Amino acid sequence: MKKALITGITGQDGSYLAEFLIEKGYEVHGIIRRASTFNTDRIDHLYNDPHIHGTKLFLHYGDLADGVQMVKLLYALKPDEIYHLGAQSHVRVSFDVPEYTGDVTGLGTLRILEAIREVGLDNKCRFYQASSSEMFGLVHEVPQTETTPFHPRSPYGCAKVYAYWLTVNYRESYGLHATNGILFNHESPRRGETFVTRKITRAATRIKMGLQEKLYLGNLDAQRDWGYAKEYVEAMWLMLQQDKGDDYVMATNETHSVREFVQETFALLDLDWEEYVDYDQRYERPAEVDLLIGDASKAKRQLDWEPKVRFKELVKIMVDADLVIAKQELAYQQAINA
Ligand code: NDP
Ligand code: GDR
C-alpha cells in the first residue's frame, strides 16, 4: 500500500485529494495545525478512530513554520509521495501579513525539501509543490504556459515563485522527483468563504433566503480562469505518477471576469445583481492581477488530463450547494425564533 503525506489536508484541495487517494487505496497522512476551535470540517467524513483496523487516514500535528517537526514526521512516516498544499493562500491577506506569508508559503517549502534530504528520502519520495498562476501576475503573455515569465504582484505570489524555483532547484541539484503543478484558480462548494467565488455564491443564496441584504466586493473587472477543484486534485496525482518530475500548467483555457461570475450566480437565483452588489474599496489589492488564462495543453499531451467542468456548470455546482446551506440557516433561525 502506498503512503502519501498531505500538508494543507484541512483545506479545499487537501480534502478532495485525501478522498481521491483513499479511494485509490493509499494510506493517507495529513498535517493539521492545533487550533482552539475545530478546523477539520472538510475531512471529518473521512476520519475514523485510528484504533479501528483498516483506517486509511491519519492526522499529525505540525506547522510549516516548524522544520524540526517536519524532519521528525518524515523519519516516522517515510512517505512515498508528499503533496505540499499547505500555505497562507489568500492573496489579499498576504499584503497584511507579508512576513508570515513568506515564512509559511515560501520557506515552508524549503523546510519540507530539506527534511526529505535529511531523512534520506531523495530517491524514494516524490514531491508535489502547489504552485500558482499568481506567479504570472502582470500580464506578459496570454494564454499563460509553462514558459511564460513570472512577474508576481503580491507577497503571496513572490513566496510562490520562491517555492517554485526551490522545487526546480532540488530536482536539478539532488535528482529529487519534484514537480510543480502551476494551477489556475479552482473552486468548489468547499472553497474558503473569503475567496471571491464562494463569497459571491454564499451571499447570493443568503440574499435569496432573506438572510442578508447586500454583498460588498472590490474589483469586478479582474479575469480568472476558474476550474473545478475536484478535477484538479486528480491532476496532482497524475503528475507524481510520471517517470520524472516536471512542471505543468492546469487550467480550463477560458477566462471570465468577477462581474460575470456575479451575473451568472444572481441570474441562477432569479435576482438582479445590481440591486444587491455594492463596491467596497477595502477588497481592492495594492497591485492587482488583471487577467489569467492558462494553456494546459502540456498536461493534456503528457498526462491525458483535461478539465470537464466549465464556468457555468461550476457556478451552478456552487450555487446549488450554498442554497442548501442557506435553507438550513433559515430553518434554524425560524426554529429559534419560534
Ligand atoms: P486553502 O487555503 O483552502 O488551504 C490551505 C491549507 O494550508 C489549510 O489546510 C491550512 O490549514 C494549511 N496551512 C496554512 N498555514 C499553515 C501552516 N502555517 N502550517 C501548516 N498548514 C498550514 O487552500 P487551497 O486548498 O485552495 O489551496 C491548496 C494549495 O494550492 C495552497 O498552497 C494554495 O496556495 C495553492 N493554490 C491554490 C489554488 C486555488 O485556486 N485553490 C490555485 C493555485 C495554487 P488550516 O485549515 O489550519 O488553516
Ligand atoms: P485569487 O482569488 O486572488 O485569484 O487567488 P480571490 O478569489 O481571492 O480573488 C479573485 C479576484 O477577485 C477580486 N475580488 C475579490 N476577491 C476577494 N477575495 N474578495 C472580494 O471581495 C473581491 N472583490 C473582487 C480580486 O481582486 C481578484 O482579482 C486564488 C487563491 O486560491 C490563491 O491561493 C491561488 O494561488 C490563486 O487563486 C490562483
Q: Which residues are catalytic?
A: 132, 134, 156
Q: How far apart are CA 6 and CA 21, in angstroms?
A: 10
**Cell output for 259:** 462581474
User: Does any ligand 1 atom lie closer than 6 A to the CB of residue 60?
Assistant: no
Kindly write down the DSSP assignment for every residue of 74-130, as one continuous string.
Answer: HHHH--SEEEE--S---HHHHHHSHHHHIIIIIIHHHHHHHHHHHTT-TTT-EEEEE
Grid coordinates 532547484 are at which residue?
Answer: 169
Q: What is the pTM of this model?
A: 0.98
13 lines ligand 1 (CB under 6 A): yes
Cβ count within 10 A of residue 281: 8
Q: Residues enclosing ligand 2, CB less than 6 A? A: 89, 91-92, 132-134, 184-185, 194-197, 199, 217-219, 222, 224, 258, 283, 285, 288
| Best of 13, 31, 167 for a ligand 1 pocket test (most atoms within 8 Å of beta carbon) | 13
pLDDT, residue 237, reads 98
Among residues 5, 154, 168, 139, the alpha carbon closest in space to that of 72 is found at 5
Which has the minimum average pLDDT: 43-57, 192-206, 260-274? 43-57
The partner residues of 257 in beta bridges, in order of sequence, read 223
d(CA 248, ligand 2 centre) in Å: 22
Give me the amino acid identity at 42: R
Residue 244 three-state SS: coil
| Selection from 77, 89, 17, 31 nearest residue 234 by Cα | 17
Whether 67 and 114 have beta carbons less than 8 Å apart is answered as: yes
| pLDDT band of 48, cuts 50, 70, 90 | confident
The residue-averaged pLDDT of 128-150 equals: 98
Question: Is residue 111 pLDDT above 90, yes or no?
Answer: yes
- CA-to-CA distance for 59 and 207, rounded, in angstroms? 37
Binding site membership of 63 for ligand 1 (Cβ less than 6 Å): yes
Which residue puts its alpha carbon closest to atom 36 of ligand 2? 185
Average pLDDT over residues 267-278: 98
State the pLDDT at residue 53: 73
Here the ipTM equals 0.99
Q: Which residue has the cell 510562490?
A: 160
N-to-C CA span, the chain: 53
Q: What is the pLDDT of residues 80-109, one digit of tens each?
A: 999 999 999 999 999 999 999 999 999 999
Per-residue pLDDT averaged across 16-34, rounded?
97
Q: Which atom of ligand 1 is least distant from the CA of 229? A: 41
Q: Considering the chain, what is the average pLDDT of its residues?
A: 97
Average pLDDT over residues 121-135: 97
Residue 166, C-alpha cell as written in the block: 526551490
> Given a cut of 80, is residue 49 above it in pLDDT?
no
The predicted model gives 186-211 an average pLDDT of 98
Q: What percentage of the chain reaches a pLDDT higher than 70?
A: 100
What is residue 135's predicted lDDT score, i.e. its pLDDT?
98
| Angle formed at CA 304 by CA 303 and CA 309, multiple of 5 degrees | 115
In the predicted model, is pLDDT for residue 244 greater than 90?
yes
How would you write 10-73 as a 3-class SS string?
CCHHHHHHHHHHHHCCCEEEEEECCCCCCCCHHHHHHCCCCCCCCCCEEEEECCCCCHHHHHHH
Average of per-residue pLDDT across 292-311: 98
| Torsion on CA atoms 66, 60, 186, 293, rounded to nearest 10 | 30
Residue 154: predicted pLDDT: 98
pLDDT (0 to 100) of residue 109: 98
Kindly list the structural domains of the chain, giving each domain's residue range(s) and its CATH number in brackets, ordered by start. 3-187+226-250 (3.40.50.720), 196-223+256-292+310-337 (3.90.25.10)
Ligand 1 atom having least distance to the Cα of 105: 32
* pLDDT at residue 334 tops 90: yes
Considering just the CA atoms, what is the radius of gyration of the chain in Å? 20
What pLDDT, on the 0 to 100 scale, is given for residue 51?
76
- Residues forming a β-bridge with 58: 29
